[in-house]
Structure 1
């Protein structure tokens, strides 16, 4: 075992040490998160220190709760430390489901049910020992059947565990579909994919349901067999026991009827407790199935472990990066060669640009430098050391990364930047933001650096997100800077500002740039041209332009003939005009900065305006509440009011399965009645009663089979239906609902997987147990009063005490379930956010941070559970003690009545046993109080969602459906602000119109409201004031589905689903079956057909979760094909070609222009060269159109557009 494995094993064994962090650490993390002033910090520290003291003085820990708490932390930690290649071959969405559902099932299986099982089995052992003492021979004969029972139970438990594992895997797959759909809700809704997603989700539910029903069948069979064997033991006891009595009378008389009664009742008591313990075996089987996956991950040794302490940590970094004969294929596609013999050396402080067509291996080099993967052959070296020999965490700490699609986390701007380096001060943050040209727009926000950016930065515009990501990279003070299309998301103004910032900060750092806009890398020290995984050219911009080969062709494809002439004639002048040479052209750069500042004075004022409709999100939007930080904290701590749901209402949800429920109730009632036996009669006619016991055993077997199987069947059907209904209800809510913080992707997925399962706690087999208990109690009371009403009345008052214990425990649990449900959702958000953004987490080396943050979120409910477990234990103990007190009183008073000749001792036993057994059954039903409490909490969430009516109904029958194509689109006096930020105006009197067949181009700075217009047309939102008209009709009067069917949307950040390429393209039109020829035609138009055909599986190639198996350009072209296959009457293009390389952009732009012919088009573009042929160009500023006209008209006007055009050039 090498050092790495030892380190990993130590971490697993000491998981509690890593996850059960001290409150002092929690305080430190919270202080960093909130960025409080000194006074606030002191108050927070004092509060946390008080919690620390409280923690020291808290009640002794409950081992099972500690174990589950530890496992939750270890599970996430183990996931986060796996190599990136492992995530490529495993669906990250599966883990999002498993973090909640599998761990909840494991908790159920190893929590209090273990205590209950041990309780019942202890009584069983004590009873059997007592039986041996009073009649070992008869006891042995009775127990002879138990090995058969044990073997049968073991086999059944193994099958149950296997089926449970299958069931949870299918639920995990369904959960991954749910997470994918919710995180890409705008894409789903825009293409009318709600019903398709529900069908995909339901398909996995069907498989899970079948496995669950099979498990219920095995449970029913096992329970029936167990009770048959128990009654067979009773039969054997009376048959053989009577023989012993007769034989004893002929001999020494050592075995008399009294001993037969003692042995029988002891075995009866033991058997009853084994019967009560049996349902827990199923819970253990389910937990075992859940544990299988959990421990597979926990125990897996990562091949590239970012948390390992192994590896060298050189004291200094020069920044020499070298690749020697590197060959590489992605683990998920081992037959597709990505890099083929790359040899590249980058000197310290040198800037090297990697260029080439999409998918040629540029971004792969960036990933290999970070050691996301190891090469198949060859080496990657840093300062002459193979990076495999360096400590991985240390290596990534030396690197600052800015990607094409920047990922921000759902916290404040300051905290997002602070993720760049531990212990960074606010001054450092300010300086980094100034370097990234982000400080000015941040300080103009209402809450400045404490502004919450939303999930995946959804509350920020594309340019704002990119600049925050750059500041995060700079605050690391990295020796190496990796920029992968770092300015692709920016408008012209933002790009000029940010590009100048990048040029400034890369001085003295080794910098690797991947760029499609070649104008941004002209000043690089070396430009390396890639083609099909090989380096085909390298040199300076001037050198490569002289060669007039591949690089020359790429450059000339991006610039006009006039500019090319200038390029060839005045290279230096061209460079000066781009203002990138910061050493010799400082004044020119400053002039450009001044021009930009004067050009759009309102752009920064409105910079809080988001473009989350313009930037297609992979995660649902979290709201930014416009209150101060303290209020946000208070809101986070506030619990949503719990609306009590009646058990009857929950059971009504199961009404579709009433035949199965009736069958289960009948079985439970039969079993409850059979629980009352009259063994004393059997002494007189042993043979007859031995036969009767066999008959009762058969009836018990049938009744238990009916009870277990029927209720399992109804419970599984209910769970699947509730999941489907809940998911369907989620997908049909308006976008504003998803914007709310409580409805983040993580929270919704946790609710979806947890609530439906929890509701089953008030139905299914639990109903069987309750019905059985009530039936037993009812028969017991009747029998007790029938045989002697006086003794019955004396014993009867003990039953209410058991019911009081049930009520108390339920009351204690209800409050805990509400709190636990919310806090587990909050913790689930953290887990899902870190898993789905694993590449960003890995780049920042923040695996341990998120693991600790997750453990911190779990600590409070864990602490509360520890405290309340003692109260619950007391209530349960009280309920279990009552039957024995009742038994003592019954024996005492019964003895008195026997003594005065008022009752026979036979009737004393009959009354006592009947009433005590009934009371005991009620007491044992207390064990299911937790399931009922959690079920009611979960049901309240589900009913609230199912009964909620969307503010924008997408029902097929609501609204007008116009005949013929869309004739025109108009926004008239439209005012709009997002529901989560009603006091921040986005559109302020928008007036714009486009006629049929014309193209309207919207231009302006980031955050000015361009993409909000597209959101209003898609009816993601409705205008607060003013009207949106389609074909002269108010859009709110039209059918939502019809409106969306007219539109074809292509966004800047393309969303693909974990389906095949063909299925992703066909997703463009979910109203019909798309033929393969149509898919191929659309792919040809989008210039992606040749690439698809080159793949081993062609159109059947899966693209991976969120399209991770494809490059940005490849994803974008598939997204364009998806829009074209829809054949829409209106095209909505939001930066549709921004992610493409030069060669692809040119072809795709031609395809789009061809597609636009005869169609109404609304185009948002930062590259003004792509919209010069538009019929109307509208310049948007501050939520209004400030000027409009054709390209030529606006150039002649020399206003806002002219200024933008100059900057763009």
Structure 2
């Protein structure tokens, strides 16, 4: 404020008077000293203003980000289900920056200019009220214009920020799933989807920019109108020898005071613009801060029992997900689990098996009914204590971008390194961890990208075991492990349950792993349809559990001889030993280092190169007309302010004016920038021997596959061909269009089920019968029935990364997407691992018919050997090499690695 007042000090009238002939050197020296002291004052106040506001804004942004993250983390899961998590992340990072700008130097400058406006007008009215009043008559118009501008900016900022946050979510989702995008040749669709999401923000912001330009032009027009009228009226008053304005010195004092005050109003505009944007951005964040979660994990109230035994009881529980209130999941769910028991849940995908676990952890609140722990309603217990008694290992393991030790240790409080190592040994993770260069200090990468699926799962199991919970929940915990690792982990878990009174809940599709459970609960349509031990349920005629067992018992077994070659053109399968041979989808680079859309998924480091200004100008070619017009207008606007000196020089000989440069209030068109981001200077690279899709191609059709042995840490490839052609000479888009990939962890995109299935189509395919083709693909993948059970059917939103669907449902949609692509080569990387027995059988039959009819080449990567015994060729991968290959019978006669895997598989079964 002091900085603003100093700008209105009435030194200029005295200075001008001192230069009037004859020159009064005493007055000139006095005026010079006044300007010197003014310079020191402006330095001190300017430094203090910018420093204080910058510190305050940075601290406010830090505090706001922490509070927003805290409130988001403590919200209930129902709130998450109805929101896009990527959009929330964009708001925390982007909106808080806007708020910081509005609270920082922009606020300081606005206050300074406001004080300059006040001081200027006070001086003007005190020297000559009549001239000041005439010059100030346009101020109401200027005030109304700026006020209306602020209102429009607040409204537009909220809308544009929401649209840009959605676009940011699309970009994050696409880049995070680049392997899936590349396998679908979906780069062009992703590039088309992003501009579509920013179109609304572009329209809103361009419209507001036009209004802002009009408002600023109107303000400048009024300012210059004020100058012209003031000079004319002041001269008229002097000529009439008015007592209030007796001489030119008074006219100049009044004129300069009003001039500085009016200039301040014009320069407040850009700062007010930033403050209005900050207010609009703050609206969404404060809505988050103001929301009270129905299940608040930060609430330390509630009962804390002295001990936890692990007795669980569900009484007539009904539940509906908040995102799908019309689709009930549990319909009168009742079950009792005694302490120390092992209870297994089986049933079709989406039947509600995992829902009880979510309710037990209090991720959601039952619609009606209650769940009791040791006779106490869990809603009365302290949430932090309740969750500390439960160890959860989910079907899709989630690791953080930290070391392996730091990923295991958060499972409990004050965990020592010895405890982490002990838990890792129980989970059969210690050996592979010690085989890594940095051991337990190895970085896992973004979402565990540097580890294979089985390794991630074992780390997640160790994290659950390290706290020694009273209740252990295994939600398909061993589904990603190879046979030997699964046996060791299962033995360790069984040993742990034998020597402790831990209550264990197992959710599984593979029924051979749950036969020894104390109770087996068969879930169907949201109720417990059957309950009992394995033998008891097998005695039920036409029982659901018995039918599931019979389905798995009829799985493919060892047969003599081979199937006719014409049944499948080629059917190649790969088995891995002890996790040394990774599944293709597990060969990941860090997601932070993945290339942008349209580039190879390769990494060795980001090449940074300075972008020249001429390169940026080149990218503005599509908007060159607007760019040139904007530059010309800006220059004219800048020249107009110094031009006033030519007018005032007739009254004074030396008066300096300062003016803030043209402020670009427009919007950035993001579409042309895609070229810049796709350039070499902003791309990343991986220099390793074999790319995922190319490795697939090298195995299929011609079997030409030769790999040079490992030399230090680098790999090289040689002679990888498809139909006798070197794949490096083939069109990459065509090559990937020939391959259909279904990964171990299915990746779905934000949108409807129909849109996700249809993404398997190429861009050139006509969409006249699109819905029929989508439904046909879904039927072949055994997905049509569960899709039609949703109220919106194929128009059901899947959520971020398919979070609205169960694991089996997501996998079936991914299979339908691959079928929709109609590829010549089909790669199934544990494609049926997430399906229940009945769904797996139906889907496998559909795939078999598809392969037999079309003669496709197929690669199956599997740990379950029962699904690959009838393959034309089986390749056993060990230590990164093909150790054995042949048919099932040929490999058994070798009595090698494959034989050992088969024997291990029989022991597990």
TM range (shorter): 0.7 to 0.9
| Equivalent position of 1:410 in the other structure | 401
| Equivalent position of 1:176 in the other structure | 169
1:511-550 aligned at under 5 Å gives the runs 511-548=504-541, 549-550=543-544
Choose from 691, 707, 710 the match for 1:974: 707
**Which is worse superposed, 664-673 or 259-268?**
664-673
Counterpart-to-counterpart distance in 1, 2:217 and 2:75: 45
CA shift digits 1:830-884 (9 cap, x unpaired): xxxxxxxxxxxxxxxxxxxxxxxxxxxxxxxxxxxxxxxxxxxxxxxxxxxxxxx
Conservation of the 8 A alpha-carbon contact between 1:248 and 1:254: yes
| Equivalent position of 2:550 in the other structure | 556
Choose from 737, 742, 745 the match for 1:1053: 745
Conservation of the 8 A alpha-carbon contact between 1:185 and 1:731: no
| Equivalent position of 2:362 in the other structure | 371
CA shift digits 1:978-1018 (9 cap, x unpaired): xxxx8457xxxxxxxxxxxxxxxxxxxxxxxxxxxxxxxxx
Q: Say whether 1:313 aligns with 2:5.
A: no
CA shift digits 1:352-398 (9 cap, x unpaired): 11111100000111111111111111112222222222222221111
Conservation of the 8 A alpha-carbon contact between 1:616 and 1:1055: no
Deviation at 1:420, TM superposition (A): 0.8
| Equivalent position of 1:736 in the other structure | 686
Q: What SS is found at the alignment partner of 2:504?
A: strand
Distance 1:61-1:390 versus aligned 2 partners, 3 A rule:
farther
Conservation of the 8 A alpha-carbon contact between 1:402 and 1:486: yes
Q: What SS is found at the alignment partner of 1:547?
A: coil
Conservation of the 8 A alpha-carbon contact between 1:183 and 1:617: no
Q: Say whether 1:672 aligns with 2:631.
A: no
Q: Say whether 1:1199 aligns with 2:891.
A: no
| Equivalent position of 2:598 in the other structure | none
CA shift digits 1:471-524 (9 cap, x unpaired): 100111211111101111112111111111221223411111111011111111
CA shift digits 1:547-568 (9 cap, x unpaired): 13111111111114999xxxxx
Counterpart-to-counterpart distance in 2, 1:561 and 1:130: 95
CA shift digits 1:289-318 (9 cap, x unpaired): 222222222222222111222222222112
CA shift digits 1:6-40 (9 cap, x unpaired): xxxxxxxxxxxxxxxxxxxxxxxxxxxxxxxxxxx
| Equivalent position of 2:20 in the other structure | none
| Equivalent position of 1:797 in the other structure | none
Q: What SS is found at the alignment partner of 1:716?
A: coil
Q: Say whether 1:221 aligns with 2:214.
A: yes
Q: Say whether 1:196 aligns with 2:196.
A: no
Counterpart-to-counterpart distance in 1, 2:392 and 2:127: 78
Distance 1:1193-1:966 versus aligned 2 partners, 3 A rule:
closer
Choose from 121, 145, 153 the match for 1:160: 153
Conservation of the 8 A alpha-carbon contact between 1:399 and 1:478: yes
Conservation of the 8 A alpha-carbon contact between 2:134 and 2:230: yes
Distance 1:1173-1:308 versus aligned 2 partners, 3 A rule:
same
Counterpart-to-counterpart distance in 2, 1:1165 and 1:242: 95
Counterpart-to-counterpart distance in 2, 1:253 and 1:560: 109
| Equivalent position of 1:117 in the other structure | 110
Q: Say whether 1:1097 aligns with 2:792.
A: yes
Deviation at 1:725, TM superposition (A): 3.4
Distance 1:975-1:402 versus aligned 2 partners, 3 A rule:
farther
Conservation of the 8 A alpha-carbon contact between 2:828 and 2:861: yes
| Equivalent position of 1:86 in the other structure | 79
Conservation of the 8 A alpha-carbon contact between 2:778 and 2:813: yes
| Equivalent position of 1:442 in the other structure | 433
Choose from 196, 212, 230 the match for 1:237: 230
Structure 1, unaligned runs of 5 or more: 1-57, 564-599, 624-638, 686-702, 740-949, 986-1022
Q: What SS is found at the alignment partner of 1:1172?
A: coil
| Equivalent position of 2:35 in the other structure | none
Counterpart-to-counterpart distance in 1, 2:165 and 2:521: 43
Q: What SS is found at the alignment partner of 1:307?
A: coil
| Equivalent position of 2:672 in the other structure | 721
Conservation of the 8 A alpha-carbon contact between 1:409 and 1:453: yes
Distance 1:254-1:405 versus aligned 2 partners, 3 A rule:
closer
| Equivalent position of 1:328 in the other structure | 319
Deviation at 1:429, TM superposition (A): 0.6
| Equivalent position of 1:620 in the other structure | 591
Distance 1:677-1:1127 versus aligned 2 partners, 3 A rule:
closer
Q: What SS is found at the alignment partner of 1:1179?
A: strand
Q: What SS is found at the alignment partner of 1:482?
A: strand
Counterpart-to-counterpart distance in 1, 2:888 and 2:468: 44
1:17-36 aligned at under 5 Å gives the runs none
| Equivalent position of 1:279 in the other structure | 270
| Equivalent position of 2:422 in the other structure | 431
Distance 1:88-1:443 versus aligned 2 partners, 3 A rule:
same
| Equivalent position of 2:727 in the other structure | 1035
| Equivalent position of 2:881 in the other structure | 1184
Deviation at 1:681, TM superposition (A): 6.5
Q: Say whether 1:488 aligns with 2:488.
A: no
Counterpart-to-counterpart distance in 1, 2:681 and 2:755: 20
Distance 1:190-1:368 versus aligned 2 partners, 3 A rule:
same
Q: TM-score, normalising length from structure 1?
A: 0.63
| Equivalent position of 1:660 in the other structure | 626
Choose from 824, 828, 847 the match for 1:1133: 828
Counterpart-to-counterpart distance in 1, 2:480 and 2:869: 20
Counterpart-to-counterpart distance in 2, 1:663 and 1:184: 41
CA shift digits 1:956-976 (9 cap, x unpaired): xxx9xx9xx998232432147
CA shift digits 1:199-218 (9 cap, x unpaired): 00111122222122112112
Deviation at 1:1166, TM superposition (A): 1.4
Deviation at 1:246, TM superposition (A): 5.6
| Equivalent position of 1:15 in the other structure | none
Conservation of the 8 A alpha-carbon contact between 1:163 and 1:214: no
| Equivalent position of 1:352 in the other structure | 343
Counterpart-to-counterpart distance in 2, 1:490 and 1:1189: 23
| Equivalent position of 1:1118 in the other structure | 813
CA shift digits 1:793-828 (9 cap, x unpaired): xxxxxxxxxxxxxxxxxxxxxxxxxxxxxxxxxxxx
Q: Which protein has the bigger helix share?
A: 1
Q: What SS is found at the alignment partner of 2:413?
A: coil
Distance 1:1028-1:515 versus aligned 2 partners, 3 A rule:
same
Counterpart-to-counterpart distance in 2, 1:1184 and 1:286: 58
Q: What SS is found at the alignment partner of 1:349?
A: coil
Choose from 119, 123, 127 the match for 1:130: 123
Conservation of the 8 A alpha-carbon contact between 1:213 and 1:712: no
Counterpart-to-counterpart distance in 2, 1:731 and 1:338: 51
CA shift digits 1:435-473 (9 cap, x unpaired): 212122222222211112222222222222111111100
Deviation at 1:1202, TM superposition (A): 2.2
CA shift digits 1:77-99 (9 cap, x unpaired): 22222211111111011122223
- Across the aligned residues of Structure 1 and Structure 2, the Cα RMSD in angstroms comes to 3.3
Distance 1:260-1:59 versus aligned 2 partners, 3 A rule:
closer
Distance 1:1085-1:359 versus aligned 2 partners, 3 A rule:
same
1:976-1015 aligned at under 5 Å gives the runs 983-984=712-713
Distance 1:513-1:966 versus aligned 2 partners, 3 A rule:
closer
Counterpart-to-counterpart distance in 2, 1:483 and 1:401: 6
Q: What SS is found at the alignment partner of 1:419?
A: helix
Counterpart-to-counterpart distance in 2, 1:562 and 1:951: 32
Counterpart-to-counterpart distance in 2, 1:672 and 1:334: 60
Deviation at 1:733, TM superposition (A): 6.0
Conservation of the 8 A alpha-carbon contact between 1:339 and 1:534: yes
Counterpart-to-counterpart distance in 2, 1:230 and 1:974: 77
Structure 2, unaligned runs of 5 or more: 1-50, 558-574, 595-604, 652-658
Deviation at 1:111, TM superposition (A): 2.0
Q: What SS is found at the alignment partner of 1:126?
A: helix
CA shift digits 1:164-219 (9 cap, x unpaired): 22111111111111111111110000010011001001111222221221121121
Distance 1:681-1:106 versus aligned 2 partners, 3 A rule:
closer
Conservation of the 8 A alpha-carbon contact between 1:528 and 1:537: yes
Conservation of the 8 A alpha-carbon contact between 1:454 and 1:622: no
In the alignment of these two chains, the number of paired residues is 812
Q: Say whether 1:1082 aligns with 2:815.
A: no
Conservation of the 8 A alpha-carbon contact between 2:341 and 2:502: yes
Counterpart-to-counterpart distance in 2, 1:551 and 1:678: 91
